[in-house]
Structure 1
Amino acid sequence: MIVSVHSHQHNQYSLVLSQMFMARKRIFWDMLGWDVTVEGEYERDQYDEMGPVYLIWCDRALTRHYGSMRLMPTTGPTLLYDVFRHTFPDAANLSAPGIWEGTRMCIDEASLAADYPEIAPGHAFSLLLVALCEFGLENGIHTMISNYEPQIRRLYTRAGATVHELGRADGFGRHPVCCGAFEVSANVLSSMRARLDLSAPLYEPLRRENTVSSALSGQAA
């Protein structure tokens, strides 16, 4: 299932969140060499202490993490303004209730391979983007902002997402960092679902009992 985990639910999802922080460390510190905060086997920073919403793909028993993203409203502190301000034009105002920031998107390839061997990591990335769009529509969000390295854009394109690059800057790591605005709309969601041949929602507000497994029926790597 893919759900949104809010601050008051962090204890309930503690095992899955622990796996998420470990996956983030493996990806962003070990593999990509980003300058991130590492505590033992975890990658977590001050924004994880500010009550973010996590979009989590996990099993129904809450014991296995497959993928995730951290979501924060731009009306409060964000990496976008605190760290990556030079990646978008000075004239751009990206702080508004309908604009949220998405960071630390990751896929746990080992867990995915164990339970969903038919789904390739790139396809899993696309599925998480669809769920993100569904979450946005459920919560009055019209734009998601994300900072990413240029080579990642092809994954967004493959998912059918509509992304407008607002700018980019050097000095953050091995590659430039781009700032992209992702349109959240019914039209974009319809396009993404068609691109990925999805017939049912992936994101589950907690009141629903649908499963990601049923939505993924027939999906191949």
Structure 2
Amino acid sequence: MRAIAIDAKEHGGLGSLVDEMHKLRTRVFAGRLGWQVKIEYGRERGEYDALNPTYILALTDHGGVAGCARLLPTTGPTMLSRTFPQLLPGGRLRSKSTMIESSRFCLDTRVGRRGGRFLHEATLKMSAGIIEWSMSNGFDETVTATGVRLKRILHRARWPMTHLGGVQLIGKTMSVAGILPADQASFDRVCPSGYRSDLRRLQRVAA
């Protein structure tokens, strides 16, 4: 399993992987979690996918999508500030040029295996991929709105979150907003043995 980044310039050229990612998001968010999300032709898409995000994907050895996350700079519109402001102190996000938002983090738990710390392999590789991409692109913090369960999983992965506000029930999910560091120390703690990525190579291709 390896991590790759698909930026806005690559959405078309790597469209089959992007399409598979949207199908995975449908299975996880609409199917497994029962969220009220927008589904078109079996693909979960939202308004933030139209803002030229970067996608981090975990790929199986056969090239299938095992995990994904959507990254957007906080200097523009974000899901946290627009959709979940109730999770923020005063309803506002203090954005800055070195902060990236991660959203739509999900895994296909049918593939892969358990890795270190009894966590799914894709969880560790996705987390390492987000940190590696962030450092390579000048970001030192990741902000996100997430369920309490995923927050605990990230803590077990040794990528602890600093809360921005209190825990609130959103739909059927106890949710919280927080900041995760994107630095070398965090990468070294999270990174599983055998980690591979094409993040730097794809950045050079897209440049």
* TM-score normalised by the chain length of structure 2: 0.86
Structure 1: 5+ residue stretches without partners: 209-221
1:184 counterpart letter in structure 2: A
- The question of whether the paired residues in 2 share the 8 Å contact of 1:67 and 1:108 is answered with yes
User: How far 1:21 moved relative to its partner?
Assistant: 0.4
CA distance in 1, matches of 2:119, 2:17: 19
Does residue 162 of the first structure (1) align with residue 163 of the second (2)?
A: no
Write the letter of the residue equivalent to 1:153. Answer: K
Give the distance between the partners of 1:123 and 1:60, measured in 2 at CA.
13
Task: Quote the offset at 1:7 in angstroms.
Answer: 1.1
- The residue aligned with 1:101 is 101
Q: CA deviation at 1:206?
A: 2.1
What is the Cα deviation at residue 93 of structure 1? 4.3
Q: Does 1:206 align with 2:204?
A: no
- Cα contact 2:66–2:107 (8 A) shared by 1: yes
- Give the SS at the match of 1:109: coil
Question: For each residue in 1:79-136, what CA deviation from the matched residue of structure 2 results, as whole angstroms up to 9, or x when unmatched?
Answer: 11111111011286431111111001111233x2xxx456587232122101111111
Contact 1:145 1:179 in 2 (8 A): yes
1:20 and 2:38 aligned = no
Offset of residue 67 of structure 1: 1.2
How big is the shift at 1:163? 1.1
What RMSD in Å do the two structures reach over aligned CA positions? 2.4
**Partners of 2:136 and 2:89 in 1: how far apart?**
29
Q: 2:37: which partner in 1? A: 36
SS in 2 for 1:51: coil
Q: 2:13 aligns to what SS in structure 1?
A: coil
Q: Which moved more, 1:98-107 or 1:118-127?
A: 118-127
> Counterpart of 1:45?
46
Residue identity matched to 1:147: A
Given that 2:4 and 2:56 are in contact with CA atoms closer than 8 Å, whether structure 1 keeps it comes out as yes
CA contact (8 A) 1:102 1:144 kept: yes
1:192 paired residue among 190, 193, 203? 190
Matched, 1:140 2:153: no
AA aligned to 1:175 is T
Q: Which amino acid in 2 is paired with 1:176?
A: M
Q: TM-score, normalised by structure 1?
A: 0.81
Superposition deviation, residue 60 in structure 1? 7.7
Q: Distance in 1 between matches of 2:93 and 2:106?
A: 27
Evaluate the alpha carbon distance shift between residue 162 and residue 202 of structure 1 in structure 2; reply closer, same or farther with a 3 A threshold.
farther
- Rounded to whole Å, the distance in 1 between the matches of 2:159 and 2:14 is 29
Identity %: 22
Distance 1:117 1:171 in 2: 31
8 Å contact from structure 1 (residues 135, 203) kept in 2: no
Uncovered stretches (5+) of structure 2, i.e. residues with no partner: none
Matched, 1:89 2:89: yes
Confirm or deny that 1:9 pairs with 2:10. Answer: yes
Deviation per residue, 1:17-49 (Å, 9 max, x gap): 111101101111111111211113111011111
Q: Number of aligned pairs?
A: 200
Question: Aligned equivalents of 1:39 and 1:199: distance in 2?
Answer: 37
